[in-house]
Amino acid sequence: MLLGSGVAWLAFTPHPPPEASVGWDKANHAFAFASMALVAWKAWPGWGFPRIATAMLGYGVLIELVQAYVPGRSSEAADMLADAAGLLVAWALSRLFRRRPNP
């Protein structure tokens, strides 16, 4: 929840701090959505990754809709594609983690 709140604040503030950026807006999106999806997958394992990814994509759409009305921000379809790319990375990592034996 805290991670999602932090992402929301960064998404909705007119001028997010430059320290919160990895240097490229699309990478910021991918990293944020991969992180949120992995945390959600570990927190709610019964949901399954497809349901989590669907919820995260809905959140990405919501962010873009709200950003259209935030001064200094814009709404871009490419941002949602970056969100989806982050979710694909998270899905691949979840598959890797699932196969890793416990010590």
Q: What is the pLDDT of residues 48-90, one digit of tens each?
A: 889 999 999 999 999 999 999 999 899 999 999 999 999 999 9
Report DSSP state, residue 35: H
pLDDT of residue 20: 84
Q: Residues 6 or more apart from 67 whose CB is under 8 A from it?
A: 11, 12, 73, 74, 75
Dihedral over Cα of 58, 37, 78, 66: its sign: positive
What's the pTM value of the predicted model, to 2 decimals? Answer: 0.86
Question: What percent of the chain is predicted at pLDDT more than 70?
Answer: 91
